A and B are shown apart, each in its own frame.
Chain A
Amino acid sequence: MHFTTIDELQQALAAHHYIADRPLTTAIFLALKLQKPLLLEGEAGVGKTEIAKTLARMQDRHLIRLQCYEGLDVNTTIYEWNYTRQMVQIRLIEALGAADAHAALNEIFSPEFLIKRPLLQAIEESWERPPVLLIDEIDRADEEFEAFLLELLSDWQISIPEIGTIRASQPPTVVITSNRTREIHDALKRRCLFYWIDYPSLDKELQIVNAKVPGASERLSRQVVAFVHELRKLDLFKLPGVAETLDWTTALTALDARELTADLVEDTLGAILKYQDDIAQVRGQGVRSLLEKVGM
């Protein structure tokens, strides 16, 4: 699917339940047009990962996800040899008494014995349409991994000593997310288009809730969103993200709630606040007074 205007893209995203404002849509649009990675930063739960998922779904493309953690290395991100198969093959060659043992041994380092990890998968040639590569929470990986990504992201190629260079005929769409638990190196940032996703406005969040939790009553979702916005004004250790708003709305809908009441909020606070201190603080301030502020 090709988009010629930003409007078209915005509508297509909305049709797939992703509500993006115009500047964000512009950034996504440019990432597709310029074939550059898109680096998304923002608090947890504002919908960074969701963008990659939506892009893949929307364009009917494969989503390859690399969840980052400390200690990621070549073996876990690019390729690994299938040792067991290689060993068996060696025994087989011996048993059959191959005429040219040397050539036979070379054979065990052929693509057939290669286990492809996410990054290699992403630039493979066999894709009909280039996949969407999601490098999630890159701030959890260590700097060595970032340095390695630099090469991949600018040349779209990976070299494997035994096989040669593998190059993407069409570069994948790359979405990188970061929760900013540490600073990403500028060299990597400059190869990307950068977008900081903020908490959405009240209207936008309401649209998101309506799109994602269609079962919720209009009244309930409006109250939930207003309440969450009130919570975000408080001095909490972890402010609730959009993900929490959605969880909470889903939970309340499952409880057949039609509107927020103080008791209901008290019982379900754990769905939006993830630290005991925060829950204690909100209880201490009084859920009722918060509800009043929301206008209930």
Chain B
Amino acid sequence: MDEFETLVPHGNLMTHVVAFAHLLRNTGIKVSVEQTIDLVRALEHVPIMSRNDFRAAARCTLVCRREDLPVFDAAFDFYWRTQSGFDPLMLAIPVVKTPPKPLRLPRRPRGQGDGHKEPDRHEEQQEEKVGFTLTFTAAETLRTKDFGNFTYEEVQACKELLRTLEWRIEPRRTRRRRSANRPGVIDMRRLLRRNLRYGGEPIELTFREPRYRQRPLVVLCDISGSMDRYSRILLQFVHTISNGLRDVEAFVFGTRLTRITRLLRERDIDEAIAAVSKQVVDWSGGTRIGDAVRHFNYSWSRRVLGRGPVVLLISDGWDRGDPQVLAREMARLQRSCYRLIWLNPLLGNPRYQPLTQGMQAALPFIDDFLPVHNLISLEQLGAKLAMLGARRPERRQNAGGRVIAQV
């Protein structure tokens, strides 16, 4: 068919398929053995001498995420075009992503560890406690001190305090039901089963009640220049909650938006933050909040706002973008989430007035406007999240319309 024929010279296609799967794994695409077998099975059905059909078969069997498709294409071209005979050395060359990090002991105590690991954990904890001998008063001062005035040592100490904070978010009622003993909806399936011994007479009633689940949380964190003094510790805070809660999506923005959810899965806080700062190019640059929120709305809202999440927007509101864009996008964001909370570190200062254009444009569309400048404010935020109430707040969309007109 095309030049492909010459590229499979010795007919040992199987070896090549396995080697190619290996190459894909090296580039960071997760390919399971079953998937490789599927491809081999698929080759019985597609004309393998046609390069494009072979590519299509490999694509639909080996790749299962859209993000991986471009990498797959590059790897495919690399492997099957340059290849005229299998050379194991090939496998070592194209490493797109970094190899897995060395295994580290988890620092957070696990809920249910198995018995014999228990002692290790205690030892580890004790060791750490020695490292940070915080007296009560020191910890107390730290709780009220503004993040912006932290020294490096205090940032380190604060990490420990952050870890001790428990994060809980008010659960959301789902459409699933589970069996219950309290009166609710009658559970016919169980009812009939249980009452068979009474000849099918419904004597013992069985019920079903709605199940509750944790509400998702989406965090958008400003890391532009004006937030410089706060962003490091706030990122640590974001890291803590994304490890403490089940369903957290995290983004950072300056002039543009970057999704950092996966980076924050890294258990070690320092490594996670290092990874974030490596990937985020506009660290400490200017701010265009409106554009960032707009990007979020267009590219991500449909994917992460599906299940009534709480959205935390962390920013000081210093915006160099167009306030009208910000107002419009905030309105859309507020409509598509359960609750929109704006955390502003400047709000910790009693003399602070949200007078910047950006803040003014955004204010009508915020459900809660809270400070986030010290540990106490974080604790208050935690309390707030834990009791949001079963109904979402009344939205001031009409007032919002007027503000757009004024701006």
Contacts and interface: CB of A to CB of B under 8 A. Distances in A.
A120 to B, nearest CB: 15
Contacts, number: 110
Contacts of A181: 302-303, 306
B404 interface: no
Provide the main secondary structure of the chain B interface.
helix
Contact of A34 (B38, B196, B304): B38
Interface string B191-221: 0100010011000000000000000000000
Interface residues of A, number: 47
Identify the interface centre among A27, A41, A193: most chain B CB within 10 Å of its CB: A193
B312 interface: no
B174 A70 contact: yes
B175 A39 contact: no
Given A30-B61, A33-B42, A186 B30 contact: yes
A190 interface: yes
Given A70-B175, A181-B306, A190-B35, A30 B196 contact: no
A166 interface: no
Nearest to B178: A73
A30 B32 contact: no
Interface in B303-326: 303-304, 306-307
A83 B297 contact: no
Contact of B303 (A105, A182, A195): A182
Chain B interface: which size bin?
A: 35 or more
Contact of A81 (B35, B192, B302): B192
A142 B303 CA distance: 14
A80 interface: yes
A182 to B, nearest CB: 6
Contacts of B303: 180-183
Nearest to B53: A26
Contacts of A194: 60, 63-65
A29 B53 CA distance: 11
Interface in B209-251: none
A94 interface: yes
Contacts of B61: 30, 193
Interface in A170-201: 179-183, 186, 189-190, 192-196
Given A30-B57, A181-B303, 8 more contacts: A26-B53, A30-B61, A33-B44, A70-B175, A71-B176, A140-B306, A182-B307, A196-B66
10 contacts: A22-B56, A30-B46, A70-B175, A71-B177, A75-B189, A81-B192, A139-B306, A182-B307, A194-B63, A194-B64
